[in-house]
Amino acid sequence: MLVRLDHGSPVPLGDQIAASVRGAVADGSVRPGERLPAARALADSLGVNVHTVLRGYQRLREEGIIELRRGRGAVVTTGDAVADRARLLAAAGRLVAEARSSGLGDEAILDLVRTSLGPA
């Protein structure tokens, strides 16, 4: 799995790591049940602090994309829906980034999404 970071980006490095892993799960290059690189090894290869990697992994755990297991490390969640969830989260991230670059704030973005849902 290839993780790329843009140190000049306003996106925090931990979020970039999470986005990279999320994309790899979404496109199938990392499969359910597969172990991710150890946080320390990934941090060393990227030249970042191990806590930066752990923040990215924690974000993915909160999203339900990975499980953090003591002694086994980070493992992609098993189940058919994990790749779909990763794809949707990646698409949502792109939507938010595009909306912010257009000058929309968080509430305006949420209003936009609510409008796209139509009547409840």
Model confidence over 53-105: pLDDT tens digits?
Answer: 999 999 999 999 999 988 888 999 987 788 888 888 888 888 988 999 999 99
Rounded Cα distance between 27 and 16, Å, is 16
pLDDT in tens, 19-49: 999 999 988 899 999 999 999 999 999 999 9
Domains of the chain with bracketed CATH: 13-117 (1.10.10.10)
Q: Residue 35 gets which letter from DSSP?
A: B
Q: Percent of the chain at pLDDT above 90?
A: 62
- Rg over alpha carbons for the chain, rounded to the nearest Å, is 15
Q: Which tokens go with 91?
A: 């698409």
Q: Percent of the chain at pLDDT above 70?
A: 98
- pLDDT of residue 120 exceeding 70: no
The reported pTM is 0.76
What contacts 33, CB < 8 A, 6 or more positions away?
Answer: 75, 76, 78
